[in-house]
Amino acid sequence: MNIDLAVLGRQFELYQAEYEAAALRVLRSGWYVLGPEVAAFEQSFAQYVGRKYCVGLNSGLDALTLAVRALGIGAGDEVIVPANTYIATVLAITANGATPVFVEPDAYFTLDAERIEAAVTPQTKAIMVVHLYGQAAEMDAVCRIAEAHGLHLLEDCAQSHGARFAGTMTGAFGDAGCFSFYPTKNLGAFGDAGAVVTDDEALAKTLRMLRNYGSEKKYHNKLVGVNSRLDELQAALLRVKLAHLGEVIAERERIASAYLAGIKNPRIRLPEVRGNANHVWHQFVVQTEDRDAFQSYLASHGIKTVIHYPIPPHLAECYASLGHHEGDYPITEHMAKTVLSLPMFNGMREDEVQYVVETVNAYGRDV
């Protein structure tokens, strides 16, 4: 049996008629950028997260980058960020001339709140928390620290659509919640797309200008902006998927439950779920000390896996100028050497899930 990490076409097939109707509605409308579909999606998604405003953008990276810019964070400022995040989180900081200050993760792959205060300096302007793999970070502690030090709080929610901490949706805690709708996400578009949610009317207004060349009125440019507009087609398709997001998450929870209950191999460490949070399982990430051999073994049995992420940002070639070296963040570096994401996608059949479980459990007996 061959099982890919993700098969996006199956999720499309679940709601195919609705997607096709939405696409045709846009095509026939003659309005393709910043129109009624975008406005309707922004309203629905803001309501879903529990925020007043949503600004649709063309990617999750732009959501992060423009949120940092809109908050006035730039050269000479520092932003605390988890060391084990995807590099996009860090790119958003450095794109604005600010400096990332890395902090190690906790056992749940999210920013370790107990390590944050030691990283705060007079130059610190914000904490950027990342709800990695679909699990909420420890937001009560993070919020307390941000408030105590007068810091902006940004949430990278690129992988946490629908995840909650203590009953509150990720994206609803900080100054801004930044989302990616890349096709593989739980709330994925059919191309690149992103959004920022906030309760700050002035911040939302600034973001709307930044995404559209810095203008409120055509040809009247108040800010140095960019072209980062969510298009009508993606917004219409996202509206369909948002209406089914509860079903999408429930299915992923069932697959994760089957993995958690079925995988019983002492060489494989299963992901932990924080007690006062829920996990929406954007990825199902296990750990093993012989990760590369394990990945090769699974590949030989037709199971595709991916490493999220093999090179931590502080060791990335593009950030050599920051002066970090191997050993600076040992917890993060150990994760990079041991993590592996198993297949997880909507439409995954029970026999495929069971095959993954059985193959993982057999590891060590036929290698």
> Is there a domain that residue 1 lies in?
no
- Considering the domain architecture, whether residues 275 and 196 belong to the same structural domain is answered as no
Q: Give the CATH number of the domain where residue 249 resides.
A: 3.90.1150.10
Residue 366's pLDDT band (cuts 50, 70, 90): low
What are the strands, taking DSSP E only, across 141-290?
152-156, 164-165, 168-169, 176-180, 194-198, 215-217, 220-221, 284-287
Q: Specify the pLDDT at position 365.
A: 80
Q: Pick left, alpha or beta for residue 154 (phi over 0 → left; psi -120 to 50 → alpha; otherwise beta).
A: beta
pTM: 0.96
Residue 323 lies in a domain: yes
Cβ atoms < 10 Å from Cβ of 115: 17
Share of the chain above pLDDT 90, in %: 98
Q: What is the largest CA-CA distance in the chain?
A: 68
The answer to whether position 164 is within a domain reads yes
Q: Is residue 261 part of a domain?
A: yes
92 shares its domain with 143: yes
Compute the distance between CA of residue 347 and CA of residue 281 in angstroms, rounded to an integer: 14
Same domain as 165, residue 146 = yes
Residues 239 and 260 in one domain: no
328 and 186 assigned to the same domain: no
* Residue pLDDT, tens place only, 314-346: 999 999 999 999 999 999 999 999 999 999 999
- Residue 2 placed within a domain: no
- CATH number, domain at 147? 3.40.640.10
Q: Write down which residue in 225, 243, 261 finishes a domain.
A: 243
CA angle, 84 as apex, 186 and 109 as ends, to 5°?
Answer: 60
Both 228 and 282 in one domain: the answer is no
Q: Are 105 and 235 in a shared domain? A: yes
Percentage of the chain exceeding pLDDT 70: 99
Q: Are residues 183 and 249 in the same domain?
A: no
| Domain range for 144 | 8-243
**Residue where one domain finishes, among candidates 185, 210, 243:** 243
Is there a single domain that holds both residue 209 and residue 273? no
Mean pLDDT for 11-16 is 94
Beta bridge partners of 357: none
User: Would you say residue 225 lies in a domain?
Assistant: yes
Looking at the fold, whether 184 and 77 belong to one and the same domain comes out as yes
Q: Are strands 168-169 and 164-165 parallel, antiparallel or unpaired?
A: antiparallel
Alpha-carbon Rg for the chain, nearest whole angstrom, is 21
Q: What is the pLDDT of residues 180-219, one digit of tens each?
A: 999 999 999 999 999 999 999 999 999 999 999 999 888 8
- Per-residue model confidence (pLDDT) at position 217: 87
Contact in structure between 353 and 259 (CB atoms under 8 Å): yes
For residues 286 and 305, the answer to whether their CB atoms sit within 8 Å is no
Q: Are 111 and 137 in contact (CB under 8 A)?
A: yes
Q: Residue 3: inside a domain, yes or no?
A: no
The dihedral over CA atoms of 10, 236, 171, 287, expressed in degrees to the nearest 10, equals 20
Residues 145-188 pLDDT 10s = 999 999 999 999 999 999 999 999 999 999 999 999 999 999 99
pLDDT at position 350 is 97
Element (H, E) at 360: helix 350-362
pLDDT band at 292 (very low <50, low <70, confident <90, very high): very high
For residue range 26-60, list pLDDT tens digits in order: 999 999 999 999 999 999 999 999 999 999 999 99
From residue 125, give the alpha-carbon distance in Å to each of 71, 85, 120, 128.
10, 19, 9, 10
User: Does residue 269 share a domain with residue 227?
Assistant: no
Residue 95 has pLDDT above 70, yes or no: yes
* Together in a domain, 69 and 202: yes
The total number of structural domains in the chain stands at 2
Cis peptide before 309 (omega within 30 of 0): yes
Looking at the domain assignment, is residue 325 inside a domain? yes
From CA 300, how far away is CA 304, in angstroms rounded? 9
Tokens of 348: 């995954």
Beta-carbon contacts of 243 under 8 Å, excluding residues fewer than 6 positions away, are none
